[in-house]
């Protein structure tokens, strides 16, 4: 048997099944060993066999299609999976931006709530003069001048 990478199917069989080996014993020659192997591993020759095998395979394929194979919901799912993934990514980004803005707004409101305290004096002065009677007001005016 040669060390060639590719077999040589057209090569005529050797005259003898055996050749002399390196150790002195007689080893079967390459082509004869190949011939024996080919006979042992021969594929079925009957065309009906291959028709039956094809029918069996295609029955399996059709069964798979019925259960949602390449033509069923699986294919539809695969077709929409990419668009769905893109939409989900967009929604996640939009959600993130909205959450960030909302957090920013809350922080600003909280800051303003702490910093912009209304001046109590104005309120007090207002409240002081709201309920004073006219007589009291006249008295205060007189005393003050």
What does the binding site for other proteins look like in residue numbers (CB under 8 A)? 1, 5-9, 17-18, 21, 25-28, 30, 33-34, 36-45, 47, 50, 53-54, 56-58, 60-62, 64-65, 69-71, 75, 78
Give DSSP secondary structure letters for 45-69. --HHHHHHHHHHHHHHHHHHHHTT-
Are the CB atoms for 22 and 13 separated by under 8 Å?
Answer: no
Question: CA 7, 12, 13, 15 torsion: positive or negative?
Answer: negative
Q: Smallest gap, in angstroms, from Cβ of residue 74 to other proteins? A: 8
β strands within 14-141, DSSP E: 18-20, 26-28
Q: Smallest gap, in angstroms, from Cβ of residue 103 to other proteins? A: 42
Q: Smallest gap, in angstroms, from Cβ of residue 28 to other proteins? A: 4
Nearer to other proteins, 59 or 137 (CB): 59
Nearer to other proteins, 76 or 107 (CB): 76
């Amino acid at each position: 048997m040669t060390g060639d990478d590719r077999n040589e199917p057209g090569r005529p069989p050797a005259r003898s099944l055996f050749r002399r080996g390196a150790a002195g014993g007689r080893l079967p020659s390459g082509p004869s060993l190949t011939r024996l192997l080919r006979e042992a591993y021969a594929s079925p020759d009957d065309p009906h066999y291959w028709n039956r095998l094809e029918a069996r395979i295609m029955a399996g394929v059709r069964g798979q299609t019925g259960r949602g194979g390449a033509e069923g919901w699986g294919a539809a799912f695969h077709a929409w999976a990419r668009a769905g993934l893109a939409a989900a990514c967009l929604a996640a980004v939009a959600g993130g931006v909205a959450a960030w803005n909302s957090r920013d707004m809350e922080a600003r409101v909280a800051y303003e709530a702490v910093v912009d305290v209304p001046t109590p004096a104005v309120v007090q002065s207002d409240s002081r003069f709201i309920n004073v009677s006219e007589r009291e007001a006249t008295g205060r005016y007189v005393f003050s001048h």
